[in-house]
Amino acid sequence: MNSSKGEWGSNFGFLMAAVGSAVGLGNLWGFPYKMGMNGGFAFLLFYLILAVLVGYVIMLGELTIGRSTGKGVIAAYSSLSKKYAFLGWMAFLCPILILAFYCSLGGYCLKYTIANLGDFFGASWGVNGVDTAEYFVNFYTNGLEASIFAVIFSIITVIIVMRGVSGGIEKFSKVAMPALFVLLLVVIVRGVTLPGAIGGLKFMFAPNWEVFNGSGWVSVLATAGGQMFFSLSLGMGCIITYGAYLSKKENIEVNALIIPFADTVVAIMAGLAVFPAVFAMGMEPAGGPGLLFITLQAVFDAMGAAGPIFGFLLYLLVFIAALTSSISLMEVVVSVIIDRKEEKGCVANRKNISVIFGLILCVLTILISVDSLGEGGLPKLLGFCWLDFFDLLSEGIMMPVGALLMSLIIGWKLGENWMREELCQEGNQWKMAKFSMFCLKFIAPVGMAMILLGQLDGFFKLGIFS
């Protein structure tokens, strides 16, 4: 354990931070909209199966690599073998790419939180009944405004990370995550008690096998896999980095179960916060990425006087969720730089490192924000807008490749005994060793290969799965 970097104050604190990393825009935005576009129930079913057979064991593997090496991603992979150093580098680059667009989207959430507050006070800076699609376009195509919100979001991230593992990240997550949970409950109760809400519940939970007539289910499976994997913060440094701060007495196996479980519960809760209200207001569940900022805002507008209150609560909770994820992304980068400094025998100053990286982050997130989802006039990158291009490199390619190789390395090279040595310390046991190793050797690599193909298919419209 590298004490100069810090350590979690308690296992609960670690869990809140790790669940905070996992619960983010992926759960509250991606999950409902992808579920909406992929037939509801079938998507949920595939998601759950993949979370158990693939997500759980990769989570277990990453936590184990993190704690056994006690290092940031680059040093962690290199200390397993010099040959694996490139995996560390990929895991270091991915969070930088993701942060660039994550902070931009986090800024959108902040904007909507404030706009709903404005509606509540009848202020000029509210949505004020403007058509919600138009309102959204007006906002994100205004590069300056989008950049300002993105930079504010980035600065808040930097301030939390700067304060360290237990004094910043853990302290914030311990308050933010329970608060988020309560806010989500409030919004759900409102949604499911609206007349007509039952349509949304049916959409989510009533068994519906329609997608199985034909080949459509393969693409639903691949989409659910990609979603699962992003939502659990897998395939790059976050979980490894957070695992490195975990004390040897804690039980990795149990923690690796709780994190995906909590993440999945929140994703389903996000569905419950969204679909019943969407159905009750007679709107479309398959609104795609616009579901969060266009459809839902229309739902709040249609709710009458209470609308702005629930709108404010919903966007606030999405903002909080995004923040606990962005701090985990940034911590990957900061921990790697601290390692590097210390290897050179320097004293690493977390504050300076955070601020300098924060400046780089601001530049990147401004680029994404002024590109305005491709409408801002910046040159296209391989035909993609900047956000999609950064997403392609990270979520589309490097992360699934990283997770695929990691499961192969643990399954076939390091093996069960290496895992056991780390997991069974200080009286802890590894109860599901056979199941986990089987999944790591066979199911996770196949699952990740499929997810990788699904991602490439999605980005390049190859038509492999249709």
φ, ψ for residue 384, nearest 5 deg: -105, 155
Tokens of 417: 């005994």
Residue 27 CB, nearest approach to ligand TRP (Å)? 5
Nearest residue (CB) to ligand TRP, 109 versus 236: 236
Nearest residue (CB) to ligand TRP, 94 versus 419: 94
Residue 88 CB, nearest approach to ligand TRP (Å)? 15
Q: What is the DSSP letter of 6?
A: -
Residue 238 CB, nearest approach to ligand TRP (Å)? 4
Nearest residue (CB) to ligand TRP, 234 versus 440: 234
Whole-angstrom distance, CA of residue 247 vs CA of residue 449: 33
Helix %, strand %, coil % of the chain (to 5): 80, 0, 20
According to the 3-state scheme, what is the secondary structure of 190-257? HHHCCCCCHHHHHHHHCCCCHHHCCCHHHHHHHHHHHHHHHHCCCCCHHHHHHHHCCCCCCCHHHHHH
Residue 449 CB, nearest approach to ligand TRP (Å)? 18
* 90 CB-side CA count, 13 A: 22
Residue 95 CB, nearest approach to ligand TRP (Å)? 6
The SS3 assignment for 381 reads: strand
Residue 263 CB, nearest approach to ligand TRP (Å)? 7
Nearest residue (CB) to ligand TRP, 27 versus 455: 27
Residue 38 near residue 224, CB atoms below 8 Å: yes
Residue 231 CB, nearest approach to ligand TRP (Å)? 4
φ, ψ for residue 85, nearest 5 deg: -55, -35
Nearest residue (CB) to ligand TRP, 14 versus 217: 14
Helices (H) and strands (E) in the chain — how many of each? 23, 0
Place of tokens 């606990």: 324
Nearest residue (CB) to ligand TRP, 68 versus 233: 233
Whole-angstrom distance, CA of residue 174 vs CA of residue 153: 19
Q: Which of 416, 390, 371, 433 is nearest to 142 (CA)?
A: 371
Binding site for ligand TRP (CB under 6 A): 21-22, 24-27, 230-231, 233, 235-236, 238, 325, 328-329
User: Which amino acid belongs to residue 337?
Assistant: I
Place of tokens 């980035």: 154
- Cβ neighbourhood burial of 346 (10 Å; 0-12, 13-18, 19+): exposed
**C-alpha distance from residue 153 to each of 104, 191, 229, 400, 402 (Å):** 8, 28, 24, 27, 28
Nearest residue (CB) to ligand TRP, 197 versus 292: 292
Residue 191 near residue 277, CB atoms below 8 Å: yes
Q: Which residues pair with 462 in a beta bridge?
A: none
Q: What is the largest CA-CA distance in the chain?
A: 65
Nearest residue (CB) to ligand TRP, 323 versus 367: 323
Nearest residue (CB) to ligand TRP, 90 versus 204: 90
Nearest residue (CB) to ligand TRP, 101 versus 149: 101
Whole-angstrom distance, CA of residue 297 vs CA of residue 309: 12
According to the 3-state scheme, what is the secondary structure of 159-177? HHHHCCHHHHHHHHHHHHH
Residue 420 CB, nearest approach to ligand TRP (Å)? 27
Nearest residue (CB) to ligand TRP, 280 versus 330: 330
